[in-house]
Structure 1
């Protein structure tokens, strides 16, 4: 608090059920430097001092929202009032037929500093969808004591999340299925394929829900109509499983610089590997990236967007604003996109994450990471490659509480569980599993991992390995494993 020079007043909510233990003492300490008010006092102050209503203009700045900082220092994005409202109006066109306004509820648990959570909450207030707030640590029954988890308690109709959340749910679901007998496993996996096929042809498919998928639906309250995923590409197998065992998963694409949303699928869209059609709030085009052999004439290129939802510039950074925004208002997203035959947008990768290998060909790091997350052994993965390599390598994140179980499943002998992560037999078993994933998903040799090292401590925003939006902080992950990473490079024959 001693470093805070500009803040003079602090406002807090009084809990109607009584202040938690220690709060009164903490508030008294704050009073020594700041003017402290309750929200009720502020309301009374407003009533006693009425002023003329001042309605903001559409072009006026509504807020400064900071980017996640996955590749560097977060940037302050200037978002206007019309930017926020045009996004709300844009998504309303797409999903209004699937919502009962005034009745449906959404579970919100991502930080409101993340643009996905912010624009969804704004849309709920705009349209009349009820919001129930939870936290990532209290979502499920397993994460709380003597009460229900947030999902079971609220029983939402809509839920949002980032790919890492859905990857974790998928892994947990499939591990439970794989513990079942042969007949149950066969029935489950066959039902997933059958339901997706029937859904693709717009045929009745919900008859399986009460038999095969009852447990998975009950675990989320039994009322989900659809879930929203965003922040990064989600793997097709994750979306396929969610569509069958839970509810339709719609994939959206957005960024802070576009007030949160650029394109989105509709809940009855049965296709995969795309982020839907552009929202009415923007116009969109693909621009050539010749160095990576992406050309707009082939329906591929860097995604550029323009419209009322596009930001007004970066806070105190005119140079970067000029690099990102063209004079005629096009935002260069840095994402590489491709048009599908149905006119939907598919995200191939980030322009900055396209890496040229020693062969002269490019590989897409984020797309590869999404594919390798099909492995049920890993929690997360960060792939590295450069122009010296013929194949990439990776740092693999495995939940420390699961390492011993994985070692036992693969017949790896060990004396001390804390040493398994560096056990050569264990590392080889993980690499072999990831190489099987590569083969099953049709990856080329130059996209197949040559080597891995293992980090047994879960990456999270708390230890600065992930952003608040659960994206990899590549530089921090690389620096944390510097010596081990260099040893892996040496084992690959690199200096």
Structure 2
């Protein structure tokens, strides 16, 4: 029975004992596999090594690393001794690390490389709770993680009975991890999740994954994030090989090398894949471009269960052979599923990828719900475009009178770490978690998310604006990379746009518009008129008081590194409004 995180290890050993490629990572030009035997032994040695170094149940241990097999060995090693795993983003700043370390008082930290060690090095003397620091790659003056393995292997016989006793003492509802949410405002919140929170989600969602132990996946979303971490556990439960991408920049190359059968992603990455495909398609010779655009237009009208009729299906068969087969090849040629979460997925992309026989299963959840609340499955009738699917088995959902989605079930967090007041704000006495998202039902069983409760604002004329819906629609334009809708307590809504400069450069080349740099092109009158045309196209679907009346272009590309986006690629609205405060005042002056 898999009820605790480390039960996955025994499940792996029992059901997939001879697997040679449980995990795979790239070193130099070679892909290095790790077998079931290595996984089990390394995890156990980590447990023994930690115990030998005095780390005990309920101690906090931080990991700051990229996606790699070693993360799993440490994760399981910590779970088996009842230590609390605190995985952190490698991209956050030193100030955030300082805050988290002060709050959770870790006794040890694992980092992946020299760069990340340098980020936390100034904090090591400041925080006296930290006794041990290990690195996964060789870093001067830092203990390599293999030294911990050696310590554990030597202590095995001495500590075997003790480890078994500790494992037997750990209950499913015990605290297993604290996941600090990236946060779009203020300090990060520590979400406390139990073993059962995670494992209930894994067990309930495993049936939606149409892969087995003969398949492999590519992992590239941050493994410290609840979404990729839960999927990572799900893969392990089903014995699916996990290949870790070298970086976010090498995803395309790694897909072609490994030819995986699926992966978890976020809408922003799918949008970028689509943009690259469209840019390439539009640069084809006339006849090929005509066929390409015909196939894309056909795909955007795709309906499930052959609802468009035989003539559409006949055309689709041709489009798949001539155009969409090349999309599969670009993703390695074997993709059977993609799951998408973290933000709303554009419906046109959902239809298009399904038409291309690359099914995207959109789901919904939060860190506080471990994370899945609802998810589309991989076949009709358990899929509905534009929704996040049916509610997960064992989870309850209701819509409050103000439209807020409330969830209750075994996946709901224990609370926020050292913050009972904030916990009470979101968890009521009946166990309902208040998600902060606005939603509704479609066909009485499919959940649809419409916006974030806190992001909905009112103009000075009393009109409610749901910015996320407008922003998502604007991103359908190839000219627009990101946008933020503004206008709270103002006369009308406006938008600040970060254009898609890759597309713009190609567009300017075709239209013979000089493109020297981003700063120059955003003030070009032809470009301004063209992007306003895109806004007007979106405006046709809005009621008159909700239409965008003004806009500004900016020369900056918004990224997590530059601070405008969270690590999960969500807009940091407060940061953006502060950054463009003068521009906003100019719009409404």
- Asked if 1 retains the 8 angstrom alpha-carbon contact of 2:196 and 2:410, the reply is yes
Partners of 2:405 and 2:518 in 1: how far apart? 47
Query: What SS does the corresponding residue of 2:264 show, helix, strand or coil?
Result: strand
Match of 1:296 in 2: none
Deviation of 1:61 after TM superposition, in Å, equals: 0.5
Aligned equivalent of 1:184? 291
TM-aligned CA distance change 1:416 to 1:347, over 3 Å: closer
**Alignment partner for residue 387 of structure 2, among 271, 274, 286?**
274
Distance of aligned partners of 1:304 and 1:342 in 2 relative to their CA distance in 1, 3 Å threshold: closer
Q: Which residue of 2 aligns with 1:166?
A: 270
Tell me the distance in 2 between the aligned counterparts of 1:200 and 1:90: 30
CA contact 2:391–2:445 (8 Å) conserved in 1? no
Corresponding position: 1:428 with 2:529: yes
Counterpart pick for 1:105 among 193, 216, 236: 216
Q: 1:467 aligns with which of 536, 556, 566?
A: 566
Counterpart CA distance in 2 for 1:409 and 1:454 is 21
Is residue 84 from structure 1 mapped to residue 202 from structure 2 by the alignment? Answer: no
When the two structures are superposed, what TM-score results if normalisation uses the length of structure 2? Answer: 0.72
> Which SS does the other structure have where 1:349 is aligned?
strand
RMSD: 2.5
Q: Which residue of 1 aligns with 2:396?
A: 283
Assess if the C-alpha contact under 8 Å between 1:102 and 1:130 holds in 2: yes
Match of 1:49 in 2: 158
Instruction: Say whether the 8 Å CA contact 1:69–1:467 is kept in structure 2.
Output: yes
> Within 2, Cα distance between the matches of 1:443 and 1:334?
24
Q: Which residue of 1 aligns with 2:344?
A: 233
| More divergent stretch after superposition (79-88 vs 407-416) | 407-416
TM-score (norm 1): 0.84
Q: CA deviation at 1:316?
A: 1.3
Q: How does 1:300-379 map to 2 (within 5 A)?
A: 301-379=403-481
2:257 is the alignment partner of 1:137:
no
Superposed, which structure 2 residues align to 1:59-78 within 5 Å? 59-78=173-192
How far apart are residue 420 of structure 1 and its match? Answer: 1.9
Q: Is the 8 A contact 2:384 2:446 kept in 1?
A: no
Q: Which runs of 5+ in 1 are unaligned?
A: 15-22, 141-148, 290-300, 491-495
211-220 or 79-88, larger mean C-alpha shift: 211-220
1:382 counterpart SS class: strand
Corresponding position: 1:3 with 2:123: yes
CA 1:200–1:127: 2 relative to 1, 3 Å: farther
Secondary structure in 2 matching 1:106: strand
Indicate yes or no: 2:509 matched with 1:398.
no
Cα distance in 2 for partners of 1:62, 1:232 equals 26
Deviation at 1:425, TM superposition (A): 4.6
What's the CA shift string for 1:304-357, capped at 9, x where partnerless? 111111001101111110110001111011111110015100001111111122
Partners of 1:404 and 1:420 within 8 A in 2 = no
Structure 2 contact 376–384 (Cα < 8 Å) conserved: no
Partners of 1:163 and 1:230 within 8 A in 2: yes
Q: Residue 379 of structure 1: SS of its match in structure 2? A: strand
Give distance in 1, aligned partners of 2:325 and 2:354: 14
Gaps of 5+ in 2: 1-120
In structure 2, do the counterparts of structure 1 residues 74 and 424 end up closer, same or farther at CA, with 3 Å as the change threshold?
farther
Q: How does 1:31-42 map to 2 (within 5 A)?
A: 38-42=147-151
